[in-house]
Amino acid sequence: MTREQGTGNREQRSAGRVMLVGMAAVVLIAGCRQDMHNQPKLIPQRGSEMFADHRGARPQVVNTVARGQLHEDSYFYTGVVQGANGYREERNEMPFPVTMDVLKRGEERFNIYCTPCHSRVGNGEGAIVDRGYKQAGNLHDQVRRSQPLSHYFYVMTHGYGAMPDYSAQLTPVDRWAVAAYIRALQLSQAATMQDVPAGVQVKELKDIASAKGLPVGFAQPWTLPLTAMQAYPADAKQGTPGMAPAYPADPAIKIPVTK
Query: Would you call 185 exposed, middle or buried from its count of C-beta atoms within 10 A (0-12, 13-18, 19+)?
Result: buried
Contact set with ligand HEC (CB under 6 A):
113-114, 116-118, 128, 133-134, 136-137, 144, 152, 155-156, 160-164, 166, 178
Please report how close the Cβ of residue 79 comes to ligand HEC at its closest, in angstroms: 12
Residues 153-161: contacts with CB within 8 Å, 24+ apart? 153/79, 153/179, 154/78, 154/79, 154/80, 154/90, 157/78, 157/79, 161/134
Taking CA atoms, 239 is separated from 86, 125, 204, 234, 246, in Å, by 44, 17, 40, 6, 5
DSSP letter at 163 equals B
DSSP 169: T
Residue nearer to ligand HEC on the CB measure, 48 or 115? 115
Which lies closer to ligand HEC via its Cβ, residue 103 or residue 219? Answer: 103
Residue of minimal Cβ distance to ligand HEC: 161
In whole angstroms, how close is the CB of 237 to ligand HEC at the nearest point? 23
CB closer to ligand HEC, 34 vs 142: 142
Report in angstroms how near the CB of residue 222 gets to ligand HEC at its nearest: 22
Cβ proximity of 81 and 75 under 8 Å: yes
Judged by beta carbon, residue 160 or residue 218, the one nearer ligand HEC is 160
Please identify, using beta-carbon distances, which residue of 113 and 218 lies nearer to ligand HEC: 113
156 by Cβ neighbours in 10 Å (0-12 / 13-18 / 19+) ranks as buried
Report in angstroms how near the CB of residue 188 gets to ligand HEC at its nearest. 15
Report the nearest approach of ligand HEC to the CB of residue 215 (Å): 32
Q: Residue 61 or 143: which CB sits closer to ligand HEC?
A: 143
Judge whether 95 and 76 are in contact, CB under 8 Å.
Answer: yes
Distance in Å, CB of 221 to ligand HEC, minimum: 22
